[in-house]
Amino acid sequence: MRRSKAFNLANLLTYGRLAAVPAVVGLLFWPEDLWSRWSALGIFAVAAITDYLDGYVARAFSQQSSLGRMLDPIADKLLVAASLMMLVSDGTIHGVSIWAAIVILCREILVSGLREFLAELKVGVPVSRVAKWKTTFQLLSLGFLIAGPAGETMLPGTVLIGTILLWASAILTIYTGWDYLKTGLVHMMDEG
């Protein structure tokens, strides 16, 4: 009898990242409470680490599965999108920097749609090195911004560092989004 891949270690790490989303959101409902900020940052950091670990574990221990390939990007996008929305809501991301958050959210939706379209055509789109840097910058920026006022007590300029990294990730987001769009357009024109 074969064991289900649904509960292998790689997928369990992804499930953990999915579970982290409501925890981070719940803690960010109290943005002025320093304890909530540190707790949200701790959970977010663990979730961000699992983003790297689940893929590594899946490859190293031959635990790749269709479920994991589907859930991994969903977990990533939910964690980033929910964090961005909460940080805009509490005013940590404000002013013109809201545009960086909008760019990131729009790209994530665009890429999700393109991946779905291309998957129907049996076209794989590998993750580029620049896309991995984009993810790293996004997660670092969100970590600094989640720390927010609590981080300022230990490292003055925490929010500024997070905001600069947010803009850097928005620029990389545009670049990688354009790469995906070019690939998608080639196949859309072939279909049309």
Q: What is the pLDDT along the chain (192 residues), one digit of tens a residue?
A: 456 677 888 889 999 999 999 999 999 998 788 999 999 999 999 999 998 888 888 888 888 888 888 888 899 999 999 999 999 999 999 999 999 999 999 988 888 887 777 777 777 766 778 888 999 999 999 999 999 999 999 999 999 999 999 999 999 999 988 877 777 777 767 665
Give me the domain span that covers residue 108: 5-191
Which is nearest to 94 in space by CA: 151, 44, 159? 159
Structure tokens at 85: 């929305």
The H or E element containing residue 47 is helix 34-60
Cα distance between residue 174 and residue 87, in whole Å: 21
Structure tokens at 112: 């999700």
What are the CB-based long-range contacts (under 8 Å, 24+) for 37-46?
A: 37/146, 37/147, 37/148, 37/149, 37/150, 37/151, 38/147, 38/150, 40/146, 41/143, 41/146, 41/147, 41/150, 41/151, 44/20, 44/79, 44/83, 44/142, 44/143, 44/146, 45/143, 46/16, 46/20
Cα distance between residue 35 and residue 180, in whole Å: 40
What is the tally of structural domains in the chain? 1
Cα distance between residue 182 and residue 49, in whole Å: 30
- What's the CATH code of the domain at 70? 1.20.120.1760
